[in-house]
Structure 1
Amino acid sequence: MTKKILSSTASLFLSVSVATGLSYLFTVSQRLTWANFGNDGGDFLSAILTGGIPHPTGYPTYTFLGILFQKIPVGDPYFRATMLSWLPAAIGAGLLALLIKKLLSDKLPSISTPTALLSGLVWGWMPFLWSQAVIIEVHGLQSLFLVLALWWIWILLHGQQRKVKTSSFILLSFCFGLAIGNHITILLFLPAILFALWIACKNGMSRHTVFGQLLAVGLGTLVYLYLPLRAAHYPPINWGNPQSWQGFWWVISGNPYQKLVAATSISQIFTRISALAGLLIQQFGYLGVILGVIGAVQYKHQNRNLPVILVYLFIAFSFFAILYGTDDSITYLLAPFLVFVIWIGLGIANMIPFTWRKIPVGYALLAIYSITVIAAIPGTIQTINPHQQTQPADYAEYLMEHLPENSILLTSEDRDSFPVWYYHFGLQLRPDLAVIVLPLSQFRWYQETLSHIYPGINFPDLISQTSNKSSAWGERVPELNPDRPVCRSTIQKATGNSIYVLCSNGQNYNFVISE
């Protein structure tokens, strides 16, 4: 009997993970891309290849794992970096299917496996998750950590009855600590986890087991030590130079982006709230949304605490995304989408037993929704496929080939800087160049980094304060190096769809970066 259960569990996990993993592998980006909110890909990849520190909050778990993935003897550096997106996302989809099977197995064992299978595929083939699994970004890995956090909550609520091993609690809590090092927004899970721990204590969990889990979370967060340890080597990508406590806090607290929290106006808030329904329809279709609402409202949980936790997670992450003042704040809706997939699974389970005049309406709905999920795949691929969107790679490769020898390249923002970082620092092309990001030259840490990585360049004296809120320091570099050609890249501000590069030797380049 035990072997049969294990075989069924393994088959469910492998079916979902392999199906989604192959889908990701078929559509994964092959060169640097800005598709699917992938603007930070060049920064992440440069940090991975140089052992550096990407933009705040530093993402030490992602960066450290990215370095380890570069040891895998397959593909090129770019492909190995994408593995850290699509492989965890596929594993997470399989684990979610297992979790939904657990949720249903006690109450509805006969339908738990097909419902879990469909729910896992709905999650894995959801357009947003798929879009993140095929680019270099933290959200593919984050999707796995979100599922693991839900697994931890579930065994806290049910572990005493099911005699879960202490090692399972410790492992999942350690993973939560690592998750904090991947994307700090997972801290919104903390109230739910503390509540689940309190319930577990009431149900008889020992204080030693509780303390062990809290200790394991703390041990997981020690991944942040990567930041000061690597910063001491002055890698070329060294945001904040977190060797000091001041620099460390600047990075992990997301200092440059704090002003974006609660930066939306009242009208924008209401617009985004109304748009959330549209996003749910976009991800799951009309039938999926109906099933999700049924699951959230109608399904009778055996554990009354789990629905409260799911509602909290949906609301907390949704409001964070709504209040965060960027165009790509949809990326913070990954957790609400995950909760909604669970509700869809519960809604399917709730409807399957339903019959009308001896017609199995529930099974008909299951079949119809399965067909709609599969039928949506071609449209999803067309929407998220990054294969033709290689403008940042084209731009950087052209510059590496054509920029004048020994030139200084002054860049203006992320989009014209990060791709060049990848080729110049990550792939170590054109060592004769000096790349200076003007907006970053206001920071002392960046000035220190430039002085270390370009010893042959004359730089102004370092500023005394952390930041002087001016790019004047960087603007002075060309005049201190009159023998070097200077090229300046700028984004066309009117439309934002072109990069102009003007060089002092008369060479000019224009790149279309979006249609």
Structure 2
Amino acid sequence: MSQHDHMTEHASSVTTHASPIVSSVGTKDAGASRADMSSHAPEAAAGSPHDGALLVFAGCFLLYFSTLYPTITGGDNPEFSIVSCTGGVAHPPGYPLLSMLTKIWASVFPTLGSIAWRMNLLNAVFAAAAAALVYATVLIVCPGATASAMLAAGNFAFSPLTWQYATHIEVFALNNLLTTALLYCLVRWEVSPSSESRSLMGAFLAGLGLCNQHTLVFYTVPVVVFVLAKLGLSGGLSALRLMRLAGMFVLGVLPYGYLPYASSKRSEFSWGDQMTWQGFLVHVLRKEYGTFRLFSGKERTSTGSMLLEGLLQYGQHFLQLTWYLGPLLLIAVVGLVMGGVSVPHRGSLGVMLMSVVLYLVTFHILANIPLDQPLFMAVQKRFWLQADLILHILMGVGLAQLAHYVPRMPLMSRPPASESFAAAAGGTDGSSMARVGLSVALLSALALEGFSQQDQSANWYMWHYGRAHLEPLEPHALLVVWGDLQQFSVRYLRECEGFRRDVAVVDLALASYGWYSSNQAANIPRVVLPGVAYHPRAPNKFSLADLFDANYGQMPIYTFTPPDNDISCQGRYNFLPMGLLKRVRRASEPVRIGDWLDLHQAALPTFPLPSVHAYSPSTWEYRLLGEVLDNCYAAARFALLEGQKAGSKEGLESTVLLLEKVVELHPAASADHLFDLGYAQQELFQKSPTMDRLQHMVDSFGKFMRMASPRDDRRHQVTTVLNHYSTATGSR
């Protein structure tokens, strides 16, 4: 049966409600006709999806564009902007495809906003294109089921997780695009397996996808096995064709050849040494992290221990994402795949079902990240996008399939088929247009809700955070950093925006790898690295104190509080708070407290901080807020103690104001914060007594008493103070 006959028969069938996927099946003639279907027939079915997909792309891109981050944010986002500037290598496995695309994009549009915004814009293109391909894939499987395809694509595109990773450059939007392109190619190939061009394109996409995200292998392997098996059973798998397929796959993975080239440039901020086979394999296989591990931190769990919890968490996410209708729609697809009738796309739908099960189970076996911390949970959720995507395609098919059983429901019934876009979108009659209109209304509501939650167009927090580290530094200072927030924010401003290029930066986390000295020494010629790598206790490696010894006196040195496992500085160096940083001073050198207090106050950050009410504990903004306020708190405590020695009323006033700000804004203000605030207010009251200061002190100590543990030794001290002043204030 030709595609034209297929559509004509369905359009003329009034009393029999055929499935949107199955038409004229179950007869020998239909089966034979399908086997003889020419390669041109699928093109007719695919014409209208392309038109609608352009509209889906335009709508999604417009929304993503309106909510883009204007600059860098947390996570890996700044790294890809940095790599586009320096031409270096990103963290394992290197992400060569994204690195090349960002480099090309930056070159093609050299004046289009800042580097970071330009990269975020590219990411929005990836995300919108992925949504468009979800729409097109559903319509290839279910010709004419436009409302179902719209809902599948829209619900995926406007889900919080998808939208969040559409607003800033990372690997996930590109992974969504490559995954959907592979599945789109699969369903188009299945109706015409003799089309060698489609199988070759699929092989190329399979290789290309692995140049971006290794997790795509859980979809690639089932797809490859299915295609080869079907070709083999049909007698279409010749040795020559197999060689062509293998050649296209190899062509797809060729971007990995970019890594040795990029590594040879020894760019500022470049991971690893891919100039040797060993270094190349170490990086590509993520051996420094653990090849089959998601997380390398000290909090990591054992492999497989998070399987049940991870699956339960994903199940809850899936139910909420699909309004608790997802399982019903998937059951419809399972019934279609397992049914006795002949279905053109049964094989590809079965592959999708098996692939998503394989992915979810295997991923959660390998995922060793602890889920009790909100930020870690958010890191794991990013990898759920790959499952969300394929499930939305399947649910779109399931929604269309339910039309066979509930034909009069407006969102599910299949419209009259036609080659024109208007008819393919639901027909030109009023009821068909109403179906699409209702879908648009539902998606508009989702989009409005998502816009209010995902709009990051005024989010400059990370950019300000990086400047707050660099601005106070003296010329030609050395800044020793570690941690993603500090390292990436500083690196982006320095490498991409040319801000404070005079400051030499040593990344302590990267310096712990053996390749760091040979890779980066030429980029920091003023800095002496006194060993092959950083490690506080290992032989032939250097500690933090060794690094300071080798460079002290040559340049001002700034850093953070030393890592817990590095005690080398104890008794040798002091760390004077200077804004968000610490100025390194030899322990034997005296400090003029008055001068230091003036410099410290001038270096404190003045940029607007993110609101604890606007950002949940799972966000980088929440963590940034906590780190800023923790640094301010540590500086205030130091100032409080040193201010006492100096006897400075002005210093105490500044300290009280800083502590009040910390207590007001900190997302997890503790009894320690309140005790120190009350203590500072008490010291200030004793130097300059007023009733307002006394009342503020009593209020702070009162809050401390309500928050502190019953076994806190400070409770007795505070009780004595409150009893002493209770008569004067009339409170207790």
Q: TM-score range by the shorter chain?
A: 0.7 to 0.9
In 1, Cα distance between the equivalents of 2:150 and 2:316?
25
Alignment length (residue pairs):
496
1:124 partner letter: A
Which residues of structure 1 form unaligned runs of 5+? 106-110, 494-498
Task: Please list the CA deviations of residues 425-448 of structure 1 after superposition, one character each: whole Å capped at 9, or x if unmatched.
Answer: 222321211111212222121122
Structure with the higher helix share, 1 or 2: 1
Shift of 1:387: 3.5
**Contact 1:410 1:488 survives alignment (8 Å):** yes
1:408 partner letter: L
Q: What's the counterpart of residue 199 of structure 1?
A: 230
**Contact 1:41 1:135 survives alignment (8 Å):** yes
Q: What's the counterpart of residue 127 of structure 2?
A: 89
Select between 379-388 and 96-105 the one with higher mean Cα deviation.
379-388
In 1, Cα distance between the equivalents of 2:405 and 2:554?
80
The reply on whether 1:284 has 2:322 as its aligned counterpart is yes
Q: What's the counterpart of residue 424 of structure 1?
A: 494
Note the 1:84-483 alignment, pairs <5 A: 84-105=122-143, 111-160=144-193, 164=195, 166-195=196-225, 196-207=227-238, 208-258=240-290, 260-261=293-294, 264=301, 268-297=306-335, 301-323=343-365, 324-326=367-369, 327=376, 328-355=379-406, 362-363=412-413, 371-462=441-532, 472-473=542-543, 475-481=545-551, 482-483=553-554
Shift of 1:145: 0.3
1:244 partner letter: T
2:351 partner letter: I
1:491–1:75: structure 2 CA closer, same or farther, 3 Å change rule? farther
Task: Please list the CA deviations of residues 339-370 of structure 1 after superposition, one character each: whole Å capped at 9, or x if unmatched.
Answer: 210221122112224348x7768459988776
Q: Which has the higher contact order (CA 8 A, sep 6+)?
A: 1
1:313 partner letter: S
Select between 140-149 and 278-287 the one with higher mean Cα deviation.
278-287
User: Match for 1:51 among 75, 87, 91?
Assistant: 87
1:23 partner letter: L
In 2, Cα distance between the equivalents of 1:71 and 1:447?
30
Give the TM-score of the pair, scaled to structure 2. 0.62
SS of structure 2 residue aligned to 1:503: strand
Shift of 1:40: 0.9
In 2, Cα distance between the equivalents of 1:194 and 1:71?
35
1:119 partner letter: A
RMSD: 3.2
In 2, Cα distance between the equivalents of 1:281 and 1:136?
28
In 1, Cα distance between the equivalents of 2:134 and 2:409?
31
Task: Please list the CA deviations of residues 294-319 of structure 1 after superposition, one character each: whole Å capped at 9, or x if unmatched.
Answer: 33445654344223311221112212
1:169–1:26: structure 2 CA closer, same or farther, 3 Å change rule? same
1:144 partner letter: L
Q: What's the counterpart of residue 503 of structure 1?
A: 583
Q: What's the counterpart of residue 67 of structure 1?
A: 103
1:222–1:475: structure 2 CA closer, same or farther, 3 Å change rule? farther
Structure 1 vs Structure 2: percent identity of aligned residues? 20
**Contact 2:268 2:520 survives alignment (8 Å):** yes
**Contact 1:288 1:369 survives alignment (8 Å):** no
1:313–1:256: structure 2 CA closer, same or farther, 3 Å change rule? same
Task: Please list the CA deviations of residues 447-490 of structure 1 after superposition, one character each: whole Å capped at 9, or x if unmatched.
Answer: 2233110122222243699x959973554233222221111135
Task: Please list the CA deviations of residues 76-119 of structure 1 after superposition, one character each: whole Å capped at 9, or x if unmatched.
Answer: 212221133110221122122111111113xxxxx423322332
1:286–1:480: structure 2 CA closer, same or farther, 3 Å change rule? same
Select between 307-316 and 253-262 the one with higher mean Cα deviation.
253-262
The reply on whether 1:18 has 2:58 as its aligned counterpart is yes
Shift of 1:337: 0.8
Select between 167-176 and 450-459 the one with higher mean Cα deviation.
167-176
Task: Please list the CA deviations of residues 231-264 of structure 1 after superposition, one character each: whole Å capped at 9, or x if unmatched.
Answer: 1110112211211122111211112321735964
In 2, Cα distance between the equivalents of 1:145 and 1:229?
24
SS of structure 2 residue aligned to 1:472: coil
In 1, Cα distance between the equivalents of 2:452 and 2:229?
46
Shift of 1:504: 3.3
